Structure 1
Amino acid sequence: MTQGSHHRLSMAANQVLVVGNRPNAVAATVSWLQNRGVTPFEMPGTWPIPTHPEITDTARRIGAHTIVWVEQTGDLRAPTVSVRGVDPDSNAVLWSGQASATEYRSSPTGARITWLTCHALHAAWGEPPEGDRCR
């Protein structure tokens, strides 16, 4: 199940800072954004996640127009992945999306988190998902 909305999308050639709590979700987000011409930077080290002021300072230092938060929550056997693009100066949410697994599996896989991340991004940007492919 997916849902999403946007006020303003990150434009091609914009720099964004990607921060998240699951390395494979961050990697999927970086690839997905690159495929749309956006220049993503990863926040070094995901554990522990840096503080909000540290993230905002890093975004400003690299000239990022958007901070992209990607977070996996819920039971790992039926996870939810949420993504949101936030303006680093105003903290306004520019776009957001969420994808949830609809059935439990005995063990989580990185591929499942990647798939949910891509579907959350598609929902946030108002794009139709591309089946099992993450583009």
Structure 2
Amino acid sequence: MTPLRGTAAAGATSARRTPAPEDGCAAAEPARRRPARRGGREAGSAEVPPCQERLTALGACILEGVASGASTAELAAALYLSRQGVEYHIGLMLRQFKVPNRAALVSRAHSLGVLSVGSWPPRVMADFVE
């Protein structure tokens, strides 16, 4: 288990776990496949278009952090980037996925199958990483 960041000197722990670089991101893990759906989609339901572009390893790490609820400052500290650098990469992903905010980004990533289902913290599937 990785250490919690942002803990006070008195030993208090935070309820939210910040991703640390030693956690590794999806680029370092083997691919996990989603189980096949039974019955398929209903007639008349809209198909979600596949993600046109793949994520970089850094983009995958940032998306995983956003999906787990980490703040910009927490992601910046964990990934050794500036806050502006994290915001820049999040902005790129917002435009790539054509969504207005972080919550919609995570929702779209789940609906496209970019994020793993049924595990915490969410991981980007290896198929979507360059």
TM range (shorter): under 0.3
Richer in helix (by share): 2
TM-score normalized by the length of structure 2: 0.25
Choose 1 or 2 for highest CA Rg.
Answer: 2
What is the TM-score with the length of structure 1 in the denominator?
A: 0.25
Could you say which structure has the higher strand fraction?
Answer: 1
